[in-house]
Structure 1
Amino acid sequence: MIKRSNTVLLTDGRRVMYYRDLPEVLRNAREALPALSKQNRSLGIDITDRWNACLWMIYCWIEGIPFVPFSEMNSEPLDRFHPGGVISSDAAFDIAPKTVKEKPTAETAEDSAKALTAALNEASAEALSKTSSEKSDASSEPAAPSETALLKQTAIRDQKEGIFCGLLTSGSSSRPKKVPLLRSNMIAAARNAFEASPPAGSLWGNCLPLLHAGGIAIVFRALLSGTGIFMWSSFDPEKIIRDVSLHPQITSISLVPTMLKRLTEKAEQSSHENLWDNLNNVLVGGGPADTKVLKKAENLGLPVCFSYGMTETCGQIAAQNKSDARIPGSVGKLFNDHQIRFENEESSSDGSKSASGEILVRGPQVFPGYMSDDILLPDAPLSRNDPWFRTGDYGRMESDGTLFIDNRRSDLIISGGENVSPAEVESKMMSSGFFDDVAITGVADPEWGQRVVALVSPAKGSEGLPNDIIHKASSKLKPHQKPSQYFVVSSLPRNAMGKLDRPKLQKLALKLFSRL
């Protein structure tokens, strides 16, 4: 039986759904669900309607049905995983309880926000009251919650094995691979998500795409910890700033660097005071942010915490805490139940361990292995011969355990025998202040092997790209890092997570070269 709690599970600032509403959600889903055969008991979920997609994902978790998220703009997951049924955004897709389907009666946005805040405050007060009561009855400080305890908070069956969803990698460097994630992967990820137990009645703001592990992980962090989700329909900096200021229950939000940049730009124009006082962290993953953005975030009081993870690790496996120093490239420390090692030419030749090189990880969040073209099944036979997962990322670790990410191996440019890190060059060029956006790629060259090419969007107010700006912008670069060609573009190709799409970037550079 699902726990009948008045704690908020899901809200979008207009509607509120509580844990007590879950039984009705399950009934609605069972009535709307197409028949699934025992041979292919998996479900494709359209994430266009993020509110109901979240509810369908929760239903699938509770019922033990593997799901595959897709969208109207990206149906590739359906073609690759072949789910046994598909739920699209139509009338049958809406499985929310009747109490939250009704349109708000408030005449203004402010009235609606006040009504929602009152509901959230009431739920928070109830949760805090219960927490205080439980603490007074305890004879000693409780231990950290186990995997079973996390599940029992919502009375969801303790089924630790089996696949719970199938995702495609972001595809920023190659054709997307098929990644099955286990229930045990997600349970471990939920356990590791919080530095300390989240405040009772707290909400995690979710504006990340539900096609990727980052957005999906937020849903189950909340479900498995008994907290809630504030679901935005899209990334809208102005709306996020307004909602964070109106609803102190939003204690965490997750972003990618591009989102952080746009949020800080909008926040500088905001009239809201003490905007970020209630935020415990702004978790940033998916790549480095340039130093200007970090400085701006610091001045605004944003508690930015960088993290490191990927689809194959069910989200973050390392993260900064609020108290950590913000050193460029740092992503905090690896979670305690995971191990990391580095491989490079020196360590592989003499057998000694290295503190830098290509990153290999193992632990309970690491996926069981890539899928072939077989259909997604809860008990599909998946295993890797080697428990260590080779990430393809290069990094290093300081003596205190702080992890630094330097570059993806597949992104390296080799020019004249010298390794060039696109991320490093992009960071240095962005710090010059002359550009709104920079991307570095390599183009084949008969003399140098590859030549370094820059695609840039000049800063607002700049006209063209004069030679003196090129000279100043590249002054911090080593000779082999300096681009041999610059192209001015209005925008750069990025995927749904805001990461540079390196294959598209290279195709664009070749196309621009052909016009010279």
Structure 2
Amino acid sequence: MRMIDFFDRGARMGADQACMIEGERVSTYGEVKARSDAIARALIADGFPAGGHAAVLSGNSVRAFEAILGILRADGVWVMANNRASLDENAYLLDLLDVDTLFVHSEVADRVAHFREACPNIRRFVALNRAFAEADRFLGDMLVESDEPVPQRRSGAAEELGFLANTGGTTGRSKGVMLSNGNWQALVSSLVASMPMKRPPVNLVAAPMTHAAGPLALASMALGGTVVVLPRFDAAEVVAAIARHRVTYMFLPPTAIYMLLAEPSAQTADFSSLEYISYAGAPMSLDRLKEAIALFGPVMNASFGQTEAPMCVTAMPPHEHLDDAGNLAHPGSCGRANLLSIVEIMDDDGRILGPGERGEIVVRGPLVMQGYYKNPQATAEVSAHGWHHTGDIGVRDEQGWFYVVDRKKDMIISGGFNVYPAEVEQALMADPQVQDCAVIGVPDDKWGEAVVAIVEPRGGCTIDLERLLAEARERLGPVKTPKRVEVMAALPRSNAGKVLRAELRKRHWQPVGRTI
């Protein structure tokens, strides 16, 4: 099956059913299918080859989703591009991933001139939402209407490349991740297995569609779901959209959930329609998780994955979050191995470790990527011992629940002891005055690396640093307690919302001529 076949499954459930909603505009499945057909015909007529690579550089919008569907219907490979990445990073990725056709929203039209020079493989720049001079053509002028079905130009075999993502560059220069039709089939199947829907979902896309929220929205269309598109995350608008559209499902990173919890209108809002709120991408404060369950109801759905093994390697559905007494049943867990994944903990020598032993989380199964695009060396390194190495340190208990301790490269060695930032961050996040925090190691003559915390206060709060450190020392002991705490109004984040510890480390490590 091709990725577009999953959309067509949803479309066959009812051409008049709402497919996407943006503002006051409702697009039915019949309308979206017809437009994706017309886009596919336009691409083919313009010389876009079967298996060619095409990207959409846009924020959240229905037009962007339609262009993606058109690429897939033309039997192209969708390249996930991020309109919020830097100009140089975008140029590097578009060139690396051999993009042939680039759909460009007018909000980033000023980047086209740079891409023309830096990305010689881009054959066609197409204006997505309106005509502008920097593009070669406007999509609205290219559409080819016909009653004939769009010809299928590739077999749809499981091993065929379906889409190209990128690693985001939080641990080095971004790499292209090759994901096949088979990977997409495994992703949709795993999502449905871990989050069975009572009815076609109403999926709110508020997080950037250039990351997890985009593929998750496409997956919901396979179930005949309705996708409500917000241009960006705004806590008050998310609260209003949930009530207005009777939203049943949404994906948000923990940081966005914290903002929802702090939104005044959320305290009296109607969240009764919600079935699932998926959270992933970073560890979530246990205290905030309790707040979320109290506010939204028993709808929180944890998962663990990464671009190379997308989104749901493990899962902890809502009914497994709480025990019979209403307490967190598996505090800090990202769930058990999902239906189509084999997950283990491995040491540096390739030995599978038992319950309670810390090591790297490794994965096998149909979710795992085909490899890094044009980078066989990196593919071989990440596939050592026949397993995909996630780069995350974790532990498994006797019942198969997995716990992510930290990124392997973020581990701090202080005074000869291993300190995992996530553990320290959890302790600091228990303070109600702390909105978010990041823990890093900085060079220190005595300790080698000293543990330092940078905290972002909740709105209107002034953090009592002495009290914060005293409470952390009670929870963590002297080795793991930060040697100092710094306050920052807003922590630096990647386009996916992850805190960039590397950016925080730079000012401490660059003066000593090292990176860690």
Q: How does 1:369-384 map to 2 (within 5 A)?
A: 369-372=371-374
Q: Does 1:256 align with 2:253?
A: yes
1:336-383 per-residue CA deviation (whole Å, 9 max, x = no partner) reads 2211121136983xx775554211101111101112269xxxxxxxx9
Distance in 1 separating the partners of 2:397 and 2:451 = 30
CA gap of 1:406–1:34, structure 2 versus 1, over 3 A, is: farther
Alpha carbons of structure 1 residues 462 and 53: separation in structure 2 relative to 1, 3 Å: closer
Q: Which residue of 2 aligns with 1:52?
A: 63
| 1:14 partnered with 2:19 | no
Q: Which moved more, 1:308-317 or 1:287-296?
A: 287-296
Q: Tell me the alpha carbon deviations over residues 399-420 of structure 1, each in whole angstroms, 9 at most, x when there is no partner.
A: 3322222211111001111000
> What CA distance in whole angstroms lies between the structure 2 residues aligned with 1:486 and 1:512?
20
CA-CA distance at 1:223 after TM superposition: 2.9
Q: Which residue of 2 aligns with 1:93?
A: 128
Correspondence for 1:312 = 308
RMSD: 3.4
Map 1:457-496 → 2, pairs under 5 A: 457-463=456-462, 467-496=466-495
Is the counterpart of residue 333 in structure 1 residue 336 in structure 2?
Answer: yes
Written as runs of structure 1 = structure 2, the 5 A alignment for 1:116-155 is: none
Residue by residue over 1:257-288, the C-alpha shift from the partner in whole angstroms, topping out at 9 and shown as x without a partner, is 0011011111565443xx22111111111122
**What TM-score do the two structures reach when normalised by structure 1?**
0.78
The alpha-carbon distance between structure 1 residues 312 and 434, as it changes in their structure 2 partners (threshold 3 A), is: same
Residue 149 of structure 1 corresponds to which residue in structure 2? none
Q: Within 5 A, what are the aligned runs for 1:340-355?
A: 340-344=343-347, 348=351, 353=354
Q: Please point out which of 351, 358, 361 is paired with 1:359.
A: 361
Go from structure 1 to structure 2 and tell me whether the alpha carbon gap of 1:463 and 1:280 turns closer, same or farther (over 3 Å shift). closer
Q: In structure 1, what is the Cα distance between the partners aligned to 2:24 and 2:442? A: 50
* Mapped contact 2:346–2:353 kept (Cα < 8 A): no
How many aligned residue pairs are there? Answer: 446
Secondary structure class of the residue paired with 2:479: helix
- Looking at structure 2, the residues matched to 298 and 414 of structure 1 have their Cα atoms a distance apart, in angstroms, of 35
Following superposition, the deviation at residue 292 of structure 1 comes to 2.6
Q: TM-score, structure 2 length as denominator? A: 0.78
Q: 1:43 to 1:373 in 2, by over 3 A?
A: farther
In the aligned structure 1, how far is the partner of 2:386 from the partner of 2:71? 28
Distance between the aligned counterparts of 1:53 and 1:252, measured in 2? 21
Of stretches 32-41 and 194-203 in structure 1, the one that deviates more from structure 2 is: 32-41
Change (3 A) 1:46 1:347: closer
Indicate conservation of the 8 Å contact 1:441/1:452, yes or no: yes
Question: Could you say what secondary structure the match of 1:233 adopts?
Answer: coil
Deviations 1:42-68 (A, max 9, x none): 112112252211111122222221122
Contact 2:195 2:276 in 1 (8 A): no
Residue from 170, 181, 185 that aligns with 1:187: 185
Structure 1 CA distance for aligned equivalents of residues 97 and 355 of structure 2:
38
Residue 468 (structure 1) shift = 4.5
Q: Distance in 2 between matches of 1:199 and 1:9?
A: 18
Q: What percent of counterpart residues are identical?
A: 23
**Farther-moved stretch of structure 1 (504-513 vs 67-76):** 504-513
Equivalents in 2 of 1:295, 1:304: separation in Å? 10
Contact 1:305 1:322 in 2 (8 A): yes
Deviation (angstroms), 1:164:
1.7
Alignment partner of 1:79 out of 86, 95, 99: 95
Letter in 1 for 2:181: R
Aligned to 2:503: 504
> How far is the alpha carbon of 1:14 from its aligned partner?
1.8
> Which of 166, 179, 193 is the matching residue for 2:164?
166
Give, in whole Å, the separation in 1 of the partners of 2:248 and 2:478: 45
Q: Which 5+ residue runs of structure 1 have no aligned equivalent?
A: 99-155, 375-382
